[in-house]
Structure 1
Amino acid sequence: MRITLLCNLDIASNLAANRLITALPEHHFSVLMTAQVGGKNHRPKALEALSFYENTLFTEILFPALISEQKASGKEVCVKETCDKKGDETPRLLTFGAMQQRGIDIHPVSEINEGNGLSVLERCQPDLILSVRFGRILKPPALDVPNHGVLNLHSGLLPQYRGIMATFWAMLRDESHIGCTLHRIQDGGIDTGDILSTHPIKTDYNLSYFDNMLAIYPAGLDAMIAATKRIADSVALVSIPQNDTQANYYGLPDPASISLFEQKGHRWVIHSNLISLAQRFFPQ
């Protein structure tokens, strides 16, 4: 199948792309990528700092540095799927640039439902769209492009946590579990589509928001991979409508919520964990 992955220019999207592309090598991937989730309105200082770790640190500093090192050495950086060390099966990760070098078309877009973004999507001719952290709401006619529809991996447990930064809001409310939801996108609603599966994990308050946010995705990505394989094999997917009476919508955290989050002792990032993650992009 031809699969178009809709994602965002950030490290969580990169990890998702690595997992999906590696697990589905028999399919042809293209990637459409937004620069950020939501609008360009002024954000509180804490969220600007978080954006540095989620986006700038990796996509504007580390990834270009790796490409420069590759050009200087004449060797491809991060081309191996697994480590060389015996017994170490931690996968080496590909930057977005390395994905392009492997023949995957990556297209930055600022919109998807009209204009250039819609034209790019139509040229990709996807049979299926997979969406992870994409920064725009899909509506017709974009939804009408793929033959097999759109599957979205939402970063919260639906329908209770619609909107953005669900992990933040769950931690703020002292939830014992966080998670993600695999669901269809059937109309222009925000996180309203029929649910294929939910994937709760225990909230680890010893870790940061950033660590917990990254931790919610692997199980959901595995479910997305399995669903893609079923679609390719012409097996129908079973989904259930959301119960709108249980739905809550959350937007960007406001200064008061951020202050309370920090007063509770929650951390945004743990620097040693960032270093460990960055090391996964370097060859052994």
Structure 2
Amino acid sequence: MRITVCTKRDLPGCVALNRLLPGLAGHRVQVLMSEVARVGEHAVPELARLKRFERDLPNRVLFPALDRLERPPGRLLSFGHLARRYGWECRSVREVNGGDGLRALSGFAPDLVVSIRFSLIFHEEALAVPRLGVLNVHPGELPRYAGLFSPFWTMLEGRESIGCTVHWIDRGVDTGPVLGIGRLPVDPARSLAWHVAHAYPRGVRVLLDVLPRVLAGRPVPALRQDPALRRYRSLPGPADFAAFRERGLRLVDPGDHRALLGPFTSGARAAGPAPVDAVVTPR
């Protein structure tokens, strides 16, 4: 089978690929990466700080240094070492419903598209390409946490866990039928950045559980989302970030910083993402 994986060129996207690609052995894989900047990333201090941690440091310093090494030093691989190990075709794209992205997608002609932290919305032009459809791994419990910054809103509202939802992409935004939800317990001692990077592997585990049935064309139980429960979230504003701090929560933490980057530079298992558990799949 041909599978296109769409992700973002940043730290959580790389962690997600490390969890996903071993489960795609035997398939031909194309990886498309977005580098879309959020509106306000440079103007809003909190967004700029997250960008430095999630994108600037890994892409400008850590990953280039690792890619120059013949052998990866850690148990998690940079984008470059992932490409070498798994032999996937990889390119950055600016859009997906036209231009370079749609050309790359159509040229590869995937059977299935998997989107994880892609930052680009799929419209009819792209949705029509894969014969089996497009699956999304969304870092929030749907339908209650649709939209942007779901882990932030989940933590701000005092929830016990962050849901990472695997769902079909349809013509709406985060509205398609749900195949399963993996859950990450919220640890108030950990930062938002830590929770974001650890949430995606929970969804990847759900995805890999259902993937054989999807690729075989067998029915997969799916739950239609209840519109009455849907709440779409946008980017936080200054008052939201202030409320986050007032709850004693942090966006980025030096200790979490070391814990997240450490597995790329050493083989120590203790520093990496926690084991996947608490997977909930619709029946």
Same fold (TM over 0.5): yes
Partners of 1:142 and 1:28 lie apart in 2 by 19
Per-residue deviation, 1:39: 4.4
Equivalent of residue 175 in structure 2, options 184, 187, 192: 192
Per-residue deviation, 1:99: 2.2
Aligned position for 1:44: 44
Aligned position for 1:76: 71
The question of 1:105 aligning with 2:97 is answered: no
Q: Among all aligned residue pairs of Structure 1 and Structure 2, give the percentage whose two residues are the same amino acid.
A: 35
Aligned position for 2:273: none
1:1-284 aligned at under 5 Å gives the runs 1-36=1-36, 38-39=38-39, 43-68=43-68, 70=69, 75-78=70-73, 92-102=75-85, 103-187=87-171, 189-282=172-265
Partners of 1:62 and 1:211 lie apart in 2 by 17
Per-residue deviation, 1:272: 2.0
Match for 2:167: what amino acid?
H
Per-residue deviation, 1:233: 3.1
Per-residue deviation, 1:111: 0.4
Match for 2:226: what amino acid?
N
Per-residue deviation, 1:118: 0.5
SS at match of 1:280: helix
Aligned position for 1:84: none
SS at match of 2:265: coil
Runs of 4+ that moved beyond 6 A = none
Cα 1:215–1:67 shift into 2, 3 Å: closer
Per-residue deviation, 1:170: 1.4
Assess if the C-alpha contact under 8 Å between 1:192 and 1:242 holds in 2: yes
Match for 1:196: what amino acid?
L
- Higher mean Cα deviation, 202-211 or 140-149? 202-211
Structure 1 unmatched ranges of 5 or more = 79-90
RMSD of aligned residue pairs (Cα, Å):
1.7
Assess if the C-alpha contact under 8 Å between 2:182 and 2:205 holds in 1: no
Match for 1:52: what amino acid?
R
Q: Tell me the number of residue pairs that the alignment of Structure 1 and Structure 2 aligns.
A: 266
Match for 2:27: what amino acid?
H
Per-residue deviation, 1:43: 4.2
SS at match of 1:281: helix
- Higher mean Cα deviation, 244-253 or 271-280? 271-280
Structure 2 unmatched ranges of 5 or more = 268-283
TM normalised by structure 2 equals 0.89
Partners of 2:90 and 2:186 lie apart in 1 by 34
